[in-house]
Structures are given as C-alpha cells and as structure tokens.
A and B are shown apart, each in its own frame.
Chain A
Amino acid sequence: MKPSFPVTRDTERRARVLITPEGIALPLTIASRGSRAGALMLDITFIVSGLIIFHLLLFWIAGGLFESALAGLEPPTGALEFLQIMLVLLVFSTWYGYFLVQELGPRGATLGKRLVGIRVAARGGGRLTAEAVIARNLLRDIEVFYPLVFILVLLASNSVEEDITTLAWAATIWFALFLLFPFFNRDALRAGDIIAGTWVVESTRVKLGDVLSTKGAAAARGASAVTGARYEFGEPELAIYGEKELQTLERMLRDASPEALAAVQDTICRKIGWNPGAGDERAFLEAFYAKLRAKLESDMRFGKRKADKFS
C-alpha cells in the first residue's frame, strides 16, 4: 500500500498500524515532534493572549476599584475582593481546563492541535478515557514549563556573570531531560503520554477524488476529445510498469500541469517503444492509465501483484 503523497523516510518511520475490533488494519501516522511543539506554542499563545485581553477588559470596566486599592487609600472592598478571587480561579482553571475540556471533546484535540492537524488517541487502540486525558495534562508543567523557566534563569544569571551553583545546573539538566523526553523514544511520547497510555497521531481528513476511469479517454467508449483517436495497448506494452508507477501517473492526472504531462508522455512512449505525438497528451495518458490499471487489477484478482517496474 502506497499513500498518494510522496513518501519520505521520515513519514515511513512514523507509520504505525492499528487493528480495529473488526480486524481492519488502519494505518496511523505518529505526529512529528515539530508539529506537536508548534501546536503547543499555538495553544499557549491562545491562552496567554486570551487572559491578557480578559484582564485588559476587566481593568477597563472596573479600573477605578483597582486604583483606589493600589493607592492604599481604603481597605479592599467586597467587589474588589470578589474580582481578585475570580481572577485567581480563572487563571487556574484556564491553565488546566483549556487542555482538558478540548481533548475530552469528540475531536480529541486542542485548538492548536486541530490547526496543525493532530489529535490525541489511546495507545493500542482502546478508548480515550477521561482519566487518560487528565493524567497526560497534569504532567505538562514539569515537562515543559519548569525546564523553560530553569533554562531562562540560567541564561539570565549567566549574562550578569553571577556564579551558577552546581545545584542550578543539576536541576536544569534534570528538567531538560523531561523536555527532551520525546526524542528518546520511537513514538515521540512525552512523559505525560507514557503515564496516560496515550499518543498523538496525525488526524487525516481526505477529500474523495474523482473517478478517473469514467472521464475522457479512460472511459469505456472514451476517445480523445482532440483527435478522436482511441488508444489501444498490447500485452507487452502494459507489462512494463507496476503499481507504484500507476499511482504516480494517477497523481499526475489529478493535478499536474500540461507541461508535466507532456514530459510523462514522452518518458512512457520511449519506454514502450512508441513515437510520442504532441497536443494529445492528456487523452493518451488517460487511456494508458485505464488500461494499465485494468491489467494490474485483473492480475491482482489472481493473486499476482507487481509493486513497481523493477519487480
């Protein structure tokens, strides 16, 4: 099985197979570490900017309360105290609730994850439970924020040339281990994923492409719209290419430019010993695609598969 996009070695390394209860093998792709970091940065940006906007709004509406309290003129009033409590609770619940509520939703992803196109899933194909989502989010602080704080403190004290104690170094290195945890395992699990039994996978969303064999020269009685010619191919001409080339051709037919199609026609004609014409590339390729696919699929039904032109 080859996906329709160029397979790099990286995506191949991240491919996993999940067996559903129906016994269907579903391919999954582990989210790359870069996209996860990007999603986290997006999420933090949303949280922080949301909180800042909320605070600004609050100051704009109830600014007078804070001014009199800051000037120390009078003891804090009930209204001010209420606001302070609301703020503390709001910050706390935003910090933890943002991730929890969204990852428990039907999409299993925060806004940042959705934008990047990844989601949380239970490792090994079970249900994603509330406990798992809670567990993976409780560890985020020590994995990401404490290390960053420690590294920043270290950099700051380094720049003012203070002595850095060995304890600070040790703590920073120790926390950095958590930060770098996803680089130490194959599935890019962070510590929170390990204790929650989850992983983060790419959530695919694919539009169904058109049926190629009903259009143009590929159709049953189809002929070239330009010349009216019908292309026929013999057994030896169709025996050259395999599935990989067929699917490359499919991709070209779906979205390549006419110039690219001309180049492909040229290559194919040389390979099968034809004289390439000009101006009717699309019809030629459509007909060749339909015939080649018909042959490979009928071979497939007899259990004969040809992966590519070398096999």
Chain B
Amino acid sequence: MNSPRISSWFGRGAIAAPADIASATLRSDKFRIEREGEWRRLEAIITRMERGGLRRIEDDDLLALPTLYRTAASSLAVARETSLDSATLTYLEALVQRAWFQVYGPRQGFARWLRAFLLGGWSRAVREIWLDICIALFVMVAGAVVGWLLVAQDENWYYRLVPGGLADTRVPGATREQLLATLASEESAVGLSSFAAQLFSNNSAVSILAFALGFAFGIPSLLLLVHNMAVLGALLWLFDGQGLVVELAAWLSVHGTTELFGILLAGAAGLHIGRTMAFPGSRSVLDAAGEAGQRGAVVMVGVVIMMIIAAFLEAFPRQLVDGTGPRFLIGGAMLTFWLAYFVLYRPAQPEEASR
C-alpha cells in the first residue's frame, strides 16, 4: 500500500517497545513479539541503505544483514502458515521485499561500472554484434551509392536530399573555387568550441534515435542510416564534378571516421534489438529482447563517448588543420585506433562482471 511519504521525511519516529510477551494470548502473536526486534533492526538498516548507500552502515549491521534478511524471510514463511494477523503479514511482505531489493540490488556503483566498461566491456559488446555491424555497414555503403546515383540522374534530387544549411554554396553548378572555400580551414579557434558542443548534442541525439528506432524490428534504423548516407553520396557527387573528391574525403575523414563509425554502431545496436526480437530463437521474445537491449545499451554508451570525440575533432583539427595529407593522417589514425580497440583489445572477462 502506498502510504504518504511526507511524514517519513521528517526524521524517524521513535521505535515502540515490543508488547509484553506474557500477556499475549495467541501463539502467533508470541511468535511475532519474539522476532519483532530483529525485524525492526532489519528495517532500520534497509532504510539507511536506501537513503545513502553502503558507506553509512556500520560493519556490525552490514555483517548481520544477510542473516536478518533470511530470518525475516523465514518468519514470513512461518507467519503465512500460522498467523492470521494481517498487520504482521503485510508488514513482513513489504519488509522482505525491500530487503530483497537491497540484498540483491545493484552491486557496483557507477564508477566501477564505467571502469569495467572501458576496460573490455565496451569492445566485447561491439564484437558480440558483429553481424549487425556488417549489415549496417552494407546498408550505409548502399545508401551512399544510392544518393550518388539519384543525384547523378537528376539534379533536383540534390535539393531534396541535402538540408538547407549545408547547401549554401555547395549546390550543383558551383565553381571549383567556391567548393574549395568550404573545405578551407578557419583562421582562429574563436567560436569553435561551442560549435563542438552543439555538434555533440545533435549527433548524440541522432544516434540515440537510430538506436531507439531499432525497437520496431530494426527497419527504421536502417532507413535513417540510408537517408544520412544518401546526403553524403550527394555531396561526394557534387565535389566529384569538380575533381575535388579526394579533398572532400580528407576534410570528412578527420571527424567522419569517428562519427560515421559511431552512427554505424548505433544503427547496428538498434538493428541487433530488432533482429533479436524478430528471430528470438529458442528463448522467449521478452528474454531475448532484454538480453539484446542490455548489450545494445553498452554499445550506445560507447557511441556517446565517440560522439564527444568526433565533435572535438570536427571543431578543432578539421577547421584548423589544412592540407589533404595531415587531414587523412588524423582521420586514419582515429580509424586505426577504433579498429584496434574493438578488434584487438580482448582482456579476460572478470568473473564478477559476467553475473
């Protein structure tokens, strides 16, 4: 029952002394009075744990917790067979439930989880969805090709595909000089860091969307990938018309190797969920979806990290570093780093992390 919580905010009420055992007529009430002290001690420990984690609990209490929990659980089992006092029964049920949530609650804090995540958990999760990554990669390449072919056949497609912000001077019919100017570096770093923050926020939202849409059997995730890559294909076609495709690739590669890799992983994680739900195998759909979703969530935390790195690369090195060679060098180094991290970095899985 949901009792109003407001009263519980103002300190703990004094604990009433258990009633005199001699005056109890009923065996079930004697049973209750004998054990009430332990139940209340358990309740006090649980309340403190709920309030502030493990640090504020004394060692004695922490050691007693499993015993107290088991006592309360067996009290509940006995009470169900011998007592008709509904006050005791509902109290014990609620107490054992709360204690269960604490005893079998999350065992590691966020910091320890993050450490395990960086040191192996992330790359393991990425390797586990390799098939989905292959499918998503194929779809992305296909999307770029489709974008190129569409625009090559009919220039009007360019205006439909490329959003207005990108198509300022980058339109069909632009001169070589105009296109080159869009690839040039900035004079100073003023304004670039807030640009980076905006990019990060935007790109992360897009990749979270790509992941979340995977729930609908993965198809919307793939459509999103195709659309994004078609824009890229159209841009490539435009620059190819002026013989600038290598310059564009270098300009994109600085952050693109990280950002597109991140989008690839997000789409693959979404697809993984959708695919698992469509073909759950011998497990129930719910179990399969839960497993895939948790794996996908690990990949997605990584994607957010990649988006942070990509935004910084996009804002600073890309806008400040000039020349095709250095740009390719940065992009290539990032790609090598990611591939090595995901494919070659295979630390042994710690026992506890495997649940």
Contact = CB atoms under 8 A, between A and B. Distances in A.
Of all A-B residue pairs in the complex, the 5 with the closest CB atoms, nearest first, are A197-B290, A195-B293, A209-B87, A135-B297, A117-B2
B86 A130 contact: no
Interface in A62-119: 75-76, 81-82, 84-85, 88-89, 91-92, 101, 104-108, 114-117, 119
Contacts of B23: 214, 219-222
A24 B86 contact: no
12 contacts: A21-B104, A24-B74, A28-B97, A88-B200, A104-B109, A106-B49, A106-B102, A129-B355, A135-B296, A210-B16, A220-B24, A293-B84
Interface in B63-92: 70, 73-74, 76-77, 80-91
B27 interface: yes
Nearest to B36: A208
Contact of A134 (B3, B87, B88, B300): B300
A204 B93 contact: yes
A131 interface: yes
A196 B84 contact: no
Q: Which of A208, A247, A250 has the most CB of B within 10 A?
A: A208
Interface string B24-41: 111111001100100110
Interface string B205-220: 1001101110100000
Given A26-B97, A207-B3, A293-B26, A197 B208 contact: no
Interface stretch (A42-50, A136-144, A223-231, A261-269): A136-144
Contacts of A251: 86
Contact of A211 (B3, B19, B93, B193): B19
A24 B77 contact: yes
Given A24-B96, A142-B212, A205-B8, A4 B194 contact: no
A212 interface: yes
A1 B89 CA distance: 9
A131 B87 contact: no
B294 interface: yes
B204 interface: yes
B27 A20 contact: no
Given A76-B191, A207-B3, A197 B291 contact: yes
B76 to A, nearest CB: 6
B106 interface: yes
Interface in A221-251: 221-222, 243, 246-247, 250-251
A131 B298 contact: yes
A129 B298 contact: no
A300 interface: yes
B287 interface: yes
B197 A4 contact: no
Given A81-B190, A197-B290, A220-B23, 9 more contacts: A92-B200, A106-B106, A125-B104, A127-B105, A127-B106, A178-B215, A205-B94, A213-B25, A294-B26
Contacts of A116: 2
Interface in B280-310: 286-287, 289-298, 300-301
B100 interface: yes
A191 B70 contact: no
B243 interface: no
Contacts of A151: none
A28 B94 CA distance: 9
A24 B3 contact: no
Contacts of A138: 208, 211-212, 297, 300
A204 to B, nearest CB: 4
Contact of B106 (A20, A123, A130, A214): A130
B101 A121 contact: yes
A24 B83 CA distance: 16
Given A3-B86, A115-B5, A243-B84, A84 B33 contact: no
Contacts of A123: 286, 290
B81 A300 contact: yes
A293 B89 CA distance: 14
